[in-house]
Structure 1
Amino acid sequence: MAYRLFTGPDDRSFCERVSAALAEGYVLHGSPSAAFNGSSVIVAQAVVLPAAFASADAAVADAVEGLGIDGVGYEETIEGHA
């Protein structure tokens, strides 16, 4: 999975789960969040896998390049298809 969101009580188990994901190559995404549910603090931390996003970015770049309109202005594109 390219994106994971860990949630749970603010305890050792939560930290171990996030640490394990970091060891697998994930990186932290955004700041952690914390909330109080009336009895304990619940925390959340998102992590992302950079390689998955790099390949997605490359796929988007390839798709845009395949459109064949790189460097052509909007007006030229409209006139060429009118």
Structure 2
Amino acid sequence: MKLYRYLTGPDDKNFCLRVTAALNQGWILYGGPTLSFNGQQTIAGQAIIKEVDGEFSQDMDLSSL
């Protein structure tokens, strides 16, 4: 099955570390990053996908896969 996540957060070191951790867990970038401004800081977003065995369930914790 294919999994999809959209990571968001302030455009800082911690966001980059979250994306890097996901890549090292087998996730793949899906499209380019997005940036927006909430009036105080720049917010980054990055879609990621991963192919895994098993069947989809609404109760899945995608951050642990």
TM interval, shorter chain, is: 0.7 to 0.9
Aligned-partner Cα distance in 1 for 2:37–2:6 = 18
- The structure with the largest helix share of the pair is 1
RMSD of aligned alpha carbons: 2.2
TM-score of the pair, normalised by structure 2: 0.73
Higher relative contact order (CA 8 A, sep 6+): 2
Percent identical pairs in the alignment equals 46
TM-score of the pair, normalised by structure 1: 0.59
Any gaps of 5 or more consecutive residues in structure 2? 55-65
Moved >2 Å (runs of 4+): none
Count the aligned residue pairs. Answer: 54
**1:35 CA drift (Å):** 0.5
Q: Give the corresponding residue for 1:47.
A: 48
